[in-house]
Chain A
């Protein structure tokens, strides 16, 4: 059998891509299909494979939008968290990257120190922050007491979400900073010289040279931060377990909690919640992409 060149190319493509394709089918497409099916049914975790799910039509979805106040609260929490986290992460990382991009003594040491928090596993980080912030043995409050400040309730209903943001930003500055630093080092020096010759100061350099060159990286870090923030689970689960009340319960957390409850809501309801979250994330990212295209510079191409 003799294959034509393009047939061979096609075959090669699929052979090389097959590990990914198989993985994608097995671990993403099929589970998503199953979860879409479950989202229209009433079933609990332990009933899977033992009982036929009873079909309830759009009841789960209707319940989400009419009755479930927890879900609304969790959406607000998630967006608040995501907005604050992305904002602070990107701005602080950019400032740090700009600082570290200059010739200065001890640059490598600072780079390492700032990157360090992100290599600590989230469990360790959460335990550490619990010691720093918890209501009954906060180390921060202990040190503040010498300055006659406090005690501050870092994890009460008003401050809990901000505390989670603080911990999360602390852990994600490192990688973002490295990406931005790499982008900054790719900015051609001659353009800065051109600005200087034209009489521009540091702000003109930043606005007309630096920003356009790093804008794709900024977009990338923002989008990944956004998606990560909307899916956030571990930080809150470990630091506050969603509390106090449901002040730090995120959308994903609510899905997991509902999935393992044995009441009538159970897994089917959790699946429909997951699909609503998916839709929200999709719409939100789409809007973000279309808006951001106006601000991002792709080397002259439109």
Chain B
């Protein structure tokens, strides 16, 4: 009996030793690798790369990595693909000090990463780089600049890998023909009223009144559209310093009315998006269930619209009044960033530099999106593929350079919070539980509350 208890006690001790050993082991192994990385620059280095994307996009990334390894065989890139909520996972990785070396960033999420100093400053790398130069980058990269106070100027912390105006009007020509409606002009935008009338005409119902084809569909990013409509009114959602909500300004009201009219009421051309709508909006469009949808160039290859069996047309987003200047916004602006804790920043930069030069040519061949490298965009991208592809690429580059603005960012209101407040209050409008005025008043107080929570130190 005594023997048994002694051995059990020994077992318990051994268990505890193993536990502590495990934790100390992890600590030491990371220091070893960091020393290894610094002592010998050409030694084998492993970088982790966290990203999201569909099979198509991942395949492109893998082929870029394969090419990268031909040039830099000593730098191994381990990709980890996000399966759930990308930014939630990324933040958890940061909280656990287990962050990837290279990862994707979005303008709506970058604020807190910049404020807490979690991203490596890329300005000097770009200045001293040979392959990638500052002149290769689009001006929209300013959205990843930060001077310690505000976003838009200062050092550069991330580099946009590809972009596009994200809410261009994309329409199914076959459904227009069937309804006997003329195609929208590819250069002159419709007005909101014209669009609403057209979309209603395109909405098809069966004998019982159930909708077979929706005139339009806002489902892919229901609340990002508002940023575009608001900019079109000429008003601003926040006061100049961003520290107060301006949502009740009467100048902005037509934008909200348009947004509601598209999705609310008996003859609304779009169904409003709750968390409970099934099916992917890009696939719904490809299946001919939606006449007009809103996407960037990337959607064309991602949803394989080329094989949808109907011709697709593009037009600029409708504007508020006749004669208003064209405007589109880019909300994706997905970029590469390096963690400020990365021990092999030089190697990580080499990868980003390669991705932004040679890698961009792979993107251009696949005509995926407007390449983040301006030079590649203006050469390889414009001169690849069939005439139809070239024409489409040119149309998007023209739209991007002449009238596309980046989505506005407020340092004190994360986009996810803005979306969740709006979705909560506007759903109540769509469900007939409150009026637009009530919703806007509630949004106003909640936005101001978020700002005050976020701006006091």
Query: A243 and B423: CB pair below 8 A?
Result: yes
The closest CB in chain A to the CB of B428 belongs to A245
Indicate which residue in A48, A241, A244, A245 contacts B95 across the interface (CB closer than 8 Å). Answer: A48
Q: Assuming the A-B contacts A45-B91, A262-B109, A263-B450, are A12 and B279 also in contact, with contact meaning beta carbons closer than 8 angstroms in the complex? A: no
Choose among A137, A245, A265 the residue with the greatest number of B CB atoms under 10 Å from its CB: A245
**A108-148: which have CB < 8 Å to B?**
130-131, 133-137, 145
**A97-111: which have CB < 8 Å to B?**
none
Choose among A50, A240, A241 the residue with the greatest number of B CB atoms under 10 Å from its CB: A50
A-B contact pairs, 16 of them (CB 8 A): A22-B16, A46-B118, A49-B95, A51-B116, A136-B277, A155-B274, A240-B276, A243-B274, A243-B275, A244-B275, A245-B428, A257-B420, A260-B88, A260-B91, A262-B109, A265-B450
Q: Assuming the A-B contacts A261-B416, A262-B112, are A136 and B12 also in contact, with contact meaning beta carbons closer than 8 angstroms in the complex? A: no
Collect the chain A residues with CB atoms within 8 Å of residue B191's CB.
none
Query: B9 and A15: CB pair below 8 A?
Result: yes
Q: How many of chain A's residues touch chain B, expressed as a range?
A: 35 or more
- Whether A44 is near chain B, meaning CB under 8 Å from some CB there, is yes
Choose among B4, B85, B275 the residue with the greatest number of A CB atoms under 10 Å from its CB: B275
Collect the chain A residues with CB atoms within 8 Å of residue B416's CB.
261-262
Q: In the complex, how many angstroms separate the beta carbon of A201 from the nearest chain B beta carbon?
A: 48
The closest CB in chain B to the CB of A137 belongs to B278
Query: B278 and A131: CB pair below 8 A?
Result: yes
User: Chain A: residues with CB nearer than 8 A to chain B?
Assistant: 3, 8, 11-12, 14-16, 18-19, 22, 44-51, 67, 70, 130-131, 133-137, 145, 151, 155-157, 160, 239-246, 257, 260-265
Collect the chain A residues with CB atoms within 8 Å of residue B1's CB.
8
Q: Assuming the A-B contacts A263-B414, A263-B453, are A136 and B275 also in contact, with contact meaning beta carbons closer than 8 angstroms in the complex? A: no
**How many Å lie between the Cα of A157 and that of B5 in the bound state?**
61
Collect the chain A residues with CB atoms within 8 Å of residue B456's CB.
264
Query: B431 and A156: CB pair below 8 A?
Result: yes
**How many Å lie between the Cα of A47 and that of B449 in the bound state?**
21
Collect the chain A residues with CB atoms within 8 Å of residue B412's CB.
263
Collect the chain A residues with CB atoms within 8 Å of residue B276's CB.
130, 133-135, 155, 160, 239-241, 243-244
Indicate which residue in B85, B112, B430 contacts A44 across the interface (CB closer than 8 Å). Answer: B112
- Whether B8 is near chain A, meaning CB under 8 Å from some CB there, is yes
Collect the chain B residues with CB atoms within 8 Å of residue A263's CB.
412-414, 417, 450, 453-454
Collect the chain A residues with CB atoms within 8 Å of residue B433's CB.
157, 245
- Whether B183 is near chain A, meaning CB under 8 Å from some CB there, is no
- Whether B94 is near chain A, meaning CB under 8 Å from some CB there, is yes
Collect the chain B residues with CB atoms within 8 Å of residue A12's CB.
4-5, 8
**How many Å lie between the Cα of A45 and that of B89 in the bound state?**
11
**B1-52: which have CB < 8 Å to A?**
1-2, 4-5, 8-9, 11-12, 15-16, 19
Query: A157 and B431: CB pair below 8 A?
Result: yes
The closest CB in chain B to the CB of A11 belongs to B5
Query: A245 and B431: CB pair below 8 A?
Result: yes
Collect the chain B residues with CB atoms within 8 Å of residue A260's CB.
85, 87-88, 91
- Whether B210 is near chain A, meaning CB under 8 Å from some CB there, is yes
- Whether B92 is near chain A, meaning CB under 8 Å from some CB there, is yes
Collect the chain A residues with CB atoms within 8 Å of residue B9's CB.
11, 15
- Whether B427 is near chain A, meaning CB under 8 Å from some CB there, is yes
Nearest 6 interchain pairs by C-beta: A264-B453, A241-B275, A243-B275, A262-B112, A155-B276, A15-B8
Indicate which residue in B2, B423, B453 contacts A3 across the interface (CB closer than 8 Å). Answer: B2
